[in-house]
Amino acid sequence: MLEAVQTDPPLLKQMSALPTLRLLTCGSVDDGKSTLIGRLLYEQSLILDDQLAALERDSRRHGTDGDNIDFALLVDGLEAEREQGITIDVAYRYVSTPRRSFIIADTPGHEQYTRNMATGASGADLAILLVDARKGLLTQTCRHAAIVSLTGIRHVVLAVNKIDLTGFDREGFDKIVAAFKSFAAALDFKTIMPIPVSARHGDNISAKSANTPWYSGPALLDYLETIDVTEDGGGRPFRFAVQWVNRPHLDFRGFSGTIASGTIRPGDEIIVAGSGRSSRIARIVTADGDLASATAGDSVTLTLEDELDIARGDILCEPKNRPEVSDQFAAHLIWMSGDKLLPRRSYLMKAGTRTVPATVTELRHRLDVNTLGELPAKTLSLNEVGFCNIATTAPIAFDPYKENHTTGAFILIDRMTNETAAAGMIAYGLRRAANIHLQGLSVGKQDRSRIKHHKPAVVWFTGLSGSGKSTIANLVETRLYAHGVHTILLDGDNIRHGLNKDLGFTELDRVENIRRIGEVAKLMTEAGLIVLCSFISPFRAERAMVRDLVGKDEFIEIFVDTPLAECIARDPKGLYKKAMAGEIENFTGITQSYEPPEAPEIIVARNTQTAEQAAAQIVALLTARGLIDRIEDLADDWSI
Amino acid sequence: MKKTVSPHLRRLESESIFILREVAAEFERPVMLYSIGKDSSVMLHLAQKAYFPSKPPFPLLHVDTTWKFREMIAFRDEAARRAGMELLVHINQDGLKRGISPVASGSSVHTQVMKTEGLRQALDLWHFDAAFGGARRDEEKSRAKERIFSHRSAAHAWDPRNQRPELWQLFNTRIKQGESMRVFPLSNWTELDVWDYILAEDIPVVPLYFAKERPVVERDGSLIMVDDERLPLLPGEVPRVESVRFRTLGCYPLTGAIRSRAANLPEIIGEMRASTTSEREGRLIDHDESGSMEKKKREGYF
């Protein structure tokens, strides 16, 4: 060990010059995914002495294979899953053989963690799908194959594992292969390579096994080391999402980002997809000097010949082959949250480097991933896949996911919990978005406001049934009216008799109820009114949606915080009595939750404050915000 | 001069730069945790590339346990000066007052108080909402499942059961008031990638990584360097001068050296390819039990 180490430069160079293959392993619980990876590492002598010692110690404590080494323990990292014996999260392993480097995503088979499988699949070039030779295709196998295909992976290895336990039976193997090929015919795979293996004993892993003389294909490792997964994509169009505007000083304005596809050179003409403005590339700047060209995957900083208004989220493209620009499109969604999809609810959509509010306007169908059939559906739950129409609040530039994974993928984020709620893949833009143009009007909101001598706003009262919302709203309107302020009061019960009489009280209907009211309130602010809205509006997300819709400067949220016990005691309409007797379903506070606002402009504590005091406080806030003049001043003006 | 870097490293570099830029674009107060080791050296080098010609738009932060090798501290100050970046140094003063040290308190208490608690104090003190760390997934089993953008509650807690899925390069950077994100731009790098890249890009690293005659004592199978007079010698222990180097750098009484004559980068890489032990073996704090890294992480250790 103390000898000076002789280095071998040609070997170093050869090893580090190889392309990396990104792959994932998936399949049902207990099909042996972790064992397969552990076996690969072991046979490539990639398990180091101290790791092996730890493995032997752990195998005796947690192992499922008696005194033998349990290879799965090498890759099952977290304590909790070691005790349960299942992989519960995506683990990444890094393997280098003399011929190739691999990044392996080991993904779980347990049903409730399918979202993690989709995560591993989203960055991979190839999938190893494991099947237990004794059990054949299972629901999970089909589900995973469908997700692998949906996420755009074109190459699959069907590893029929535990082949030793069927006595290396060729007929069983052939049956599984035939069944898979028949299922996969509807999927979009370029290659399918079936290999009979035993991860535990090493058959057909690193070398071909003498136990399967009937199998004429390569061993698994040999196949992985040689497969070419590059898409025939030299001619793909240039796409570059601006990630960060680089302004070290006044004389330099560059656009930093990673090239999604295509190639660019100084002098090339580019278009900003959203605005259609054009310029030419001046320089391709990197810390290692300017480049003569840059291609897909390169992180660079571009400067342009002209000053264009460009920000993070914009997509630069070539003039003759542009992405679609639309605020409506059809997409596949893989739902990843424990909270169900609510159509019409506002989520945040992150696509490329752009984040915009988006809603699912229509769920067209749910995909039965076992049969690939289309099912009617009103919502999506955790692990379900659906095909839907999505609308964004501003147009975005995109390509169909099939043509470009980088510009066609997005995630949906829950606005309240910040959870990643779904993975999405855009199928195509919806034409109607291109054909409906907003009509430009001559008289604007500000013009209408000016002749009223006050600014428009939405004052939103939220709280439990019987909390006193309508009483306070009514007092506020009376005061404003008396002083010449133009108002309208929208009240829950009244709206449900007309505009929203088709809606009930389920979560879905409540979301639509508030969406419509939000749109109506917005129209009325356009007319210059101060709109008082009195609605239980139990969900934060919908109140946030209305806030976004009308703009945060014109939205004032009043939380009428009367304790539930007091509302029940008051029970002005006798509704709590009925709800508690089970006569009314989905009653807020009793059988449906109420999410109190996190940062309302005013909290009315009705057990300590009278309705008159609350109304005065609200009018004072409107004055302080500059929405209305001081009421005394108005009175003075009129008295002249 | 244009350097030759393999396509494999070029891709890793490009992906790390994307991550670095995403943080600059989406967070208000990022910071880079700079631990002086080889991974920090690579991370700092990547940051200088990512924002060029701008300087990295955040400071460096070193949580100093006061037990780092003297050569590390000298290197740290020089690295920050070279990069032209602000260097923040935080020491857990409360821990110092309590007399916490690896010698007196043992490795796990020392690490908990001076590193984990010290880090939390620093993040709270400066209100950072994102902190870069140089951890890699290949280092340890529980780290293989760490996200690149790893969410922390307002109390800095990590919930391994409830991590956000990471799809494509679409990182969910949303946090609530008081919460923060730990970001690991080197997640997909291996130890060998790091050394290959240091060689290809000629990145300065602490001289302790290179073999040299150094005074050491052998304890429980590890070679501990006698860096200053604070290391009490056990009865019968006499420091010997041996040719040693370090694969990983931490607090000197907790970091074991290996016998080696690899005095330059190609020799280190050659030695690594022949090596049969993983790099964290030199870290005494991981030896308590196999799940110990995960426990530390839940408490806020990197």
The ipTM of this complex is: 0.87
The CA radius of gyration of chain A, in Å to the nearest whole number, is 31
B86 located within any domain: yes
Say yes or no: B163 contacts chain A, CB-CB below 8 A.
Answer: yes
Q: Note whether residue A435 is domain-resident.
A: no
Confidence of residue A300 (pLDDT cuts 50, 70, 90): very high
Q: Which CATH number fits the domain that encloses residue A387?
A: 2.40.30.10
How far, in Å, CA of A98 to CA of B150, rounded?
33
| Residue A637 pLDDT greater than 80, yes or no | no
pTM of the predicted model, to two decimals? 0.77
Question: Do B261 and A405 lie within an 8 Å CB cutoff?
Answer: no
Which range scores top for mean pLDDT: A537-551, B181-195, B214-228? Answer: B181-195
**B52 contact residues in A (CB cutoff 8 A):** 285-287, 301
In this structure, the answer to whether residues B134 and B243 fall within a common structural domain is: no
SS3 B36: coil
Whether residue B2 lies inside any domain: the answer is no
A194 and A221 share one domain: yes
Q: What angle do CA A378, A383, A388 make, to 5 degrees?
A: 40
For residue A441, is it within any domain? no
Q: Which domain holds residue B241?
A: 207-286
Q: Tell me, yes or no, whether A219 and A269 share the same domain.
A: no
| Residues paired with A198 in a beta bridge | A203
| A598-612 confidence digits (pLDDT tens) | 889 988 887 778 888
B175 in reach of chain A (CB within 8 A):
yes
Q: Is the pLDDT of residue A1 over 50?
A: no
pLDDT (0 to 100) of residue A508: 82
Write out pLDDT tens, residues A567-587.
Answer: 888 888 888 888 888 888 888
pLDDT of residue A640: 35
Of the candidates A468, A491, A463, the residue with the CA atom closest to the CA atom of residue A573: A468
C-alpha distance from residue A455 to each of A347, A601, A630 (Å): 29, 18, 13
Q: How far is A113 from chain B (nearest CA, A)?
A: 10
Do residue B73 and residue B104 come from a single domain? yes
Q: Which domain holds residue A277?
A: 239-317
Helix axes A114-122, A139-150, angle to 10 degrees: 30
* Same domain assignment for residues B50 and B197: yes
Burial class of A172 by CB neighbour count within 10 A (0 to 12, 13 to 18, 19+):
middle
Residue where one domain finishes, among candidates A372, A405, A430: A430
Is there a domain that residue A123 lies in?
A: yes
Residues A160 and A60 in one domain: yes
Q: A278 and A208, same structural domain?
A: no
Residues B104 and B236 in one domain: no
**Are B197 and B214 members of one domain?**
no
Domain holding B25: CATH number? Answer: 3.40.50.620
A339 within some domain: yes
Q: Identify whether residues B92 and B239 lie together within a single domain.
A: no
Region of B200 (left: φ > 0; alpha: ψ -120 to 50; beta: rest) is: alpha
Q: What does the pLDDT look like over B259-301, one tens digit per residue?
A: 889 899 989 888 877 765 555 555 555 444 444 554 555 554 4
Whether residues A462 and A571 share a domain: the answer is yes
Cα–Cα distance measured from residue B33 to residue B128, given in angstroms and rounded to the nearest whole number: 11
- Asked if the Cβ–Cβ distance from A123 to B271 is below 8 Å, we say no
Give yes or no: residues B53 and B196 share one domain: yes
Same domain? For B37 and B88 the reply is: yes
pLDDT beyond 70 at A485: yes
Per-residue model confidence (pLDDT) at position B161: 67
pLDDT of A133 reads 93
Residues on chain B touching A91 (C-beta within 8 angstroms): 141, 144-145
Phi, psi angles (nearest 5°) of residue B116: -65, -55
Q: Which of B9, B45, B145, B294 to mutate to test the interface with A (most CBs of A within 10 A)?
A: B145
Structural domains of chain B, count? 2
Q: What is the DSSP letter of B141?
A: G
If you search the block for the tokens 């200088």, which residue do you land on? B48
Which amino acid is it at B221?
G
Angle between helices B191-201 and B38-50 (to 10 degrees): 60
* 8 A C-beta contact, residue A581 and residue A590: no
Q: Domain boundary at A317, A347, A368, which?
A: A317
Locate A159 and state its tokens: 């590893």
B233 and B138 in a common domain = no
Do residues A101 and A220 share a domain?
yes
Query: Are A334 and A266 contained in the same domain?
Result: no
**Cβ-defined contact of B2 to A12 (cutoff 8 Å):** no
Judge if A475 and A620 occupy the same domain.
Answer: yes
Q: Residue A304 — very low, low, confident or very high, per pLDDT cuts 50/70/90?
A: very high
The strand pair at B30-33 and B130-132 is best described as parallel
Please report which confidence band the pLDDT of residue A541 belongs to, taking 50, 70 and 90 as the band edges: confident
Backbone CA torsion sign across B49, B50, B55, B58:
negative
- Asked if B221 and B239 sit in the same domain, the reply is yes
Taking Cα atoms as reference points, which of A503, A500, A497, A494 lies closest to residue A470?
A494
Same domain, A69 and A140: yes
Which residues of chain A does B160 touch, with a Cβ-Cβ cutoff of 8 Å?
A: 78, 80, 89
Tokens standing for A580? Answer: 């508690």
CA neighbor of B136 nearest in space, from B80, B73, B192 = B192
- Assess whether pLDDT exceeds 80 at residue A547: yes
* Same domain as A162, residue A121: yes
Check if the beta carbon of residue A141 is closer than 8 Å to that of residue A184: no
- Could you say which DSSP state residue A6 is in? P
Q: Is the Cβ of A492 closer than 8 Å to some Cβ of chain B?
A: no
Q: How far, rounded to the nearest angstrom, does the alpha carbon of residue B253 sit from its chain's CA centroid?
A: 17
Is residue A565 a part of any domain in this protein? yes
B1 within a domain of the structure (yes/no): no
State whether A298 and B7 contact (CB < 8 Å).
no
pLDDT in tens, B44-100: 999 999 999 999 999 999 998 888 888 899 999 999 999 999 999 999 888 888 888
In angstroms, the CA B285 to CA B109 distance is: 10
Count of the separate structural domains present in chain A: 4
**Which of helix, strand or coil describes residue A153?**
coil
Same domain, B38 and B124: yes
Is B87 exposed, middle or buried (CB count within 10 Å of its CB: 0-12, 13-18, 19+)? middle
- The verdict on residue A402 lying in a domain is yes
Q: How far is A467 from A263, CA to CA, in rounded Å?
A: 62
Q: H/E/C letters for each residue in A394-457? A: EEEEECCCCCCHHHHEEEEECCCCCCEEEEEEEEEECHHHHHCCCCCCCCCHHHHHHCCCCCCE
Q: Is residue B239 part of a domain?
A: yes
Asked if A625 and A458 count as a contact pair (C-beta separation under 8 A), the reply is no
- Are A275 and A341 contained in the same domain? no
Three-state SS at B262: coil
Mark yes or no for CB contact A406/B172 under 8 Å. Answer: no
Ramachandran area for residue A465 (φ above 0: left; ψ -120 to 50: alpha; else beta): beta
Sign (positive/negative) of CA torsion B8, B12, B13, B14? positive
Report the CATH number at residue A143.
Answer: 3.40.50.300
| A108 band by pLDDT with thresholds 50, 70 and 90 | low
- Taking the CA atoms of residue B203, residue B208, residue B210 and residue B216 in that order, the dihedral angle to the nearest 10 degrees is -170
Which of A178, A194, A226 represents a domain boundary (last residue)?
A: A226
Interface of B with A in 8-27 (CB under 8 A): 8-9, 11, 13-15, 17-18, 21-22, 24-25
Residues A347-371: pLDDT tens digits? Answer: 999 999 999 999 999 999 998 877 7
Q: Given CB atoms, is A116 within the 8 Å cutoff of chain B?
A: yes
Say yes or no: B252 and B188 in one domain: no
The verdict on A97 and A131 lying in the same domain is yes
Q: Using alpha carbons, select from B219, B220, B221, B271 the residue that is nearest to residue B245.
A: B271
Asked if the C-beta of A54 comes within 8 angstroms of chain B's C-beta atoms, the answer is yes
- Which region among A74-83, A100-109, A328-337 has the lowest average model confidence (pLDDT)? A74-83
**Distance (Å, rounded) from C-alpha A609 to C-alpha A437?**
49
